[in-house]
């Protein structure tokens, strides 16, 4: 689902990125935002966490059947929500919102049951805190979807939207990634490196505190609270970066395919928080481009970049594990997972993607349509390089799945 959404996003960029300087509330832009957030960021996090929560918490995935139902509700709900928003079909939007509500709550229940029987530690705490934000924010999303056609929320619409976005992006997606990233880094580098638990608790406190402060700032329309939220989130990102840096230093490992993506994501994340800080310090109205820059850097610059790096690590690893390693014979060792995608392709993708993100941010801030056209072209090509490479690598596993292997 994430790769299909990446392809659709790549094709849609030229028509949708310019809408960021028309209005953040343009219905087609909101539809496009959900193609990225639900289609790629959400789908990857939900799918990966069904695999990873049992691994990192030492438990066993419960209620497989319910997890499959969650996926069907999620994929149908995402499609209907996007179509409903894009065409302004309020009934379709409402059905999509309800299906997403169901899918997300079934998923939260599955993860909840899995965690109940798991090891209680700081990683589990990240996942629990993230599930709470996801559930609350999905309720707000469903409320927005159900009331869009009747205008029931009135003046409360934009505060509700701001709270929904802050909790989804910060409280759920970022906190989940912060929980998994150090554990995955430890697994990938191997050796004797261990987690610095104090740093891990600190990043959780800062990231969750910052996200809920931003959410409260949305409801209370309080710019000082938004400033505090952005500062706390920045501290959380710094703790997370310190933790990851420590893992790599201890393992004496200099790089991995996902590391350059993680560095770009960190810079964009801090850029997004700086934009929130500037907009809040100036008490800028909701229509100010600085808020849109903040959203753009958070979604495309930070979260989507992390997801790209993650996919570069995990898809070749799964292909290696299920396809290449079992076929290895003496004298014919399997290729290394990291060599399955040529490093030149990865580098070109990262250069195009990073240029697109920052040219896009400048274009939104200064209101330059030509910059957004350049950014859309760079981003589109970057996503095409990513998806073509990953589809090629994942092809043998896909063929086996289709044949029932
Ligand atoms: C349960 C799933 C979700 C539902 C039902 C939902 C619903 C909605 C609706 C209906 C709106 C538009 C409100 C309006 O136009 O008045 C909205 C806005 C928004 N949502 Fe979601 N959403 C969901 C998941 C997500 C996720 C996973 C993210 C991010 C990770 C997200 C981020 C946003 C953002 C940033 C906006 C503002 C978009 C803009 O102003 O252009 N949503 N959501």
* DSSP state letters, 225-255: HHHHHHHHHHHHHHHHHHHHHHHHHHTT---
Q: Which residue lies with its CA nearest to atom 33 of ligand 1? A: 165
Residue bearing the bigger pLDDT, 323 or 174:
174
Q: Which residue lies with its CA nearest to atom 3 of ligand 1? A: 141
Q: Residues 75-98: what's their mean pLDDT?
A: 98
Tell me which residue of 187, 53, 185 sits closest to 123, measured CA to CA: 53
Nearest ligand 1 atom to the CA of 104 is 1
Q: In 3-state terms, what secondary structure has residue 376? A: helix
The three state secondary structure string of 247-276 is HHHHCCCCCCCCHHHHHHHHHHHHHHHHHH
Contacts of 272 (CB under 8 A, 6+ apart): 293, 294, 295, 296, 297, 298, 301, 302
**Ligand 1 geometric centre to CA of 68 (Å):** 23
- Give residue 334's pLDDT band: very low, low, confident or very high (50, 70, 90): confident
pLDDT greater than 90 at residue 402: no
Nearest ligand 1 atom to the CA of 153 is 16
**Ligand 1 geometric centre to CA of 82 (Å):** 10
**Ligand 1 geometric centre to CA of 225 (Å):** 22
Domain boundary assignment for the chain: 1-119
**Residue keyed to tokens 């299906």:** 99
pLDDT of residue 18: 95
- Give residue 405's pLDDT band: very low, low, confident or very high (50, 70, 90): low
Helices (H) and strands (E) in the chain, counts: 15, 0
What digits encode the pLDDT tens for the residues 214-265? Answer: 999 999 999 999 999 999 999 999 999 999 999 888 877 767 888 999 999 9
Q: Which residue lies with its CA nearest to atom 21 of ligand 1? A: 141
pLDDT of residue 251: 75
Nearest ligand 1 atom to the CA of 142 is 5
pLDDT of residue 195: 87
How far apart, in whole angstroms, are the C-alpha atoms of residue 43 and residue 40?
5
Tell me the two tokens of residue 237: 């990102």
What digits encode the pLDDT tens for the residues 336-390? Answer: 888 888 999 999 999 999 999 999 999 999 999 999 999 999 999 999 999 999 9
Q: Which residue lies with its CA nearest to atom 8 of ligand 1? A: 141
Q: In 3-state terms, what secondary structure has residue 11? A: helix
CA dihedral 159, 163, 168, 170 (to 10 degrees): 120
Instruction: Work out the mean pLDDT of the chain and round it to a whole number.
Output: 93
Query: Among the residues of 90-222, which ranges form H helices?
Result: 90-116, 122-147, 157-166, 175-189, 197-220
Entry pTM: 0.94
**Ligand 1 geometric centre to CA of 156 (Å):** 15
Lowest mean pLDDT among 18-32, 46-60, 122-136: 46-60
How far apart, in whole angstroms, are the C-alpha atoms of residue 346 and residue 334?
21
What digits encode the pLDDT tens for the residues 41-57? Answer: 999 999 999 988 988 88
Nearest ligand 1 atom to the CA of 93 is 10
**Ligand 1 geometric centre to CA of 308 (Å):** 21
**Ligand 1 geometric centre to CA of 66 (Å):** 24
- Give residue 321's pLDDT band: very low, low, confident or very high (50, 70, 90): confident
pLDDT greater than 80 at residue 282: yes
CB of 34 closer than 8 Å to CB of 81: yes
pLDDT of residue 404: 65
Nearest ligand 1 atom to the CA of 26 is 41
**Ligand 1 geometric centre to CA of 319 (Å):** 33
Q: In 3-state terms, what secondary structure has residue 347? A: helix
**Ligand 1 geometric centre to CA of 299 (Å):** 12
Lowest mean pLDDT among 96-110, 208-222, 254-268: 254-268
Nearest ligand 1 atom to the CA of 96 is 5
pLDDT greater than 80 at residue 198: yes
Pocket of ligand 1 (CB under 6 A): 24-25, 29-30, 33-34, 37-38, 41-42, 81, 97, 100-101, 104, 138, 141-142, 144-145, 148, 157, 161, 164-165, 168-169, 173, 295
pLDDT greater than 70 at residue 191: no
- Angle at Cα 220 formed by Cα 178 and Cα 210, nearest 5°? 15
CB of 376 closer than 8 Å to CB of 297: no
Q: Residues 80-102: what's their mean pLDDT?
A: 98
Contacts of 277 (CB under 8 A, 6+ apart): 227, 230, 231
- Give residue 288's pLDDT band: very low, low, confident or very high (50, 70, 90): very high
The best mutation among 21, 33, 141 to test binding of ligand 1, ranked by most ligand atoms within 8 Å of the C-beta, falls on 141
**Ligand 1 geometric centre to CA of 165 (Å):** 6
**Ligand 1 geometric centre to CA of 42 (Å):** 11
Tell me which residue of 242, 241, 173 sits closest to 208, measured CA to CA: 173
pLDDT of residue 317: 86
């Amino acid at each position: 689902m994430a790769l299909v959404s990446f392809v659709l996003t790549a094709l849609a960029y030229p028509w949708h990125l310019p809408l960021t300087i028309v209005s953040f509330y343009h219905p087609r832009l909101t539809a496009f935002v959900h193609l990225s957030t639900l289609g790629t960021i959400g789908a990857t996090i939900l799918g990966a966490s069904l695999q990873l929560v049992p691994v990192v918490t030492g438990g066993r995935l419960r209620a497989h059947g319910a997890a499959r139902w969650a996926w069907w509700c999620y994929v149908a709900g995402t499609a209907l929500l996007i179509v409903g928003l894009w065409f302004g079909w309020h009934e379709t939007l409402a059905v999509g919102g309800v299906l997403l509500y169901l899918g997300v709550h079934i998923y939260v229940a599955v993860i909840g049951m899995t965690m109940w029987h798991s090891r209680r530690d700081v990683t589990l705490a990240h996942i629990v805190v993230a599930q709470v934000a996801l559930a609350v924010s999905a309720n707000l999303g469903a409320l927005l979807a159900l009331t869009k056609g009747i205008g029931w929320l009135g003046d409360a619409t934009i505060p509700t939207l701001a709270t929904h976005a802050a909790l989804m992006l910060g409280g759920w997606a970022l906190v989940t990634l912060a929980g998994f990233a150090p554990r995955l880094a430890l697994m990938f580098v191997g050796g004797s490196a261990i987690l610095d638990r104090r740093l891990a608790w600190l990043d959780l406190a800062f990231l969750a505190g910052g996200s809920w402060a931003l959410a409260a700032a949305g409801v209370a329309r309080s710019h000082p609270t938004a400033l505090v939220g952005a500062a706390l989130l920045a501290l959380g990102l710094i703790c997370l970066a310190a933790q990851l840096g420590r893992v790599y230093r201890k393992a004496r490992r200099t790089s991995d395919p996902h590391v350059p993506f993680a560095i770009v994501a960190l810079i964009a994340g801090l850029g997004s928080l700086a934009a929130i800080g500037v907009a809040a310090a100036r008490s800028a109205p909701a229509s100010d481009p600085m808020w849109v820059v903040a959203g753009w850097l958070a979604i495309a610059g930070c979260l989507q970049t992390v997801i790209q790096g993650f996919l570069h690590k995990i898809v070749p690893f799964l292909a290696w594990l299920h396809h290449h390693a079992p076929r290895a014979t003496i004298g014919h060792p399997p290729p290394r997972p990291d060599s399955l995608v040529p490093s030149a392709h990865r580098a070109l993708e990262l250069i195009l993607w990073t240029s697109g993100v920052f040219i896009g941010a400048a274009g939104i801030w200064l209101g330059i349509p030509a910059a957004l056209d350049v950014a859309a072209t760079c981003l589109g090509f970057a996503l095409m390089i990513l998806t073509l490479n990953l589809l090629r690598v994942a092809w043998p596993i896909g063929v086996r799945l289709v044949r029932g292997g």
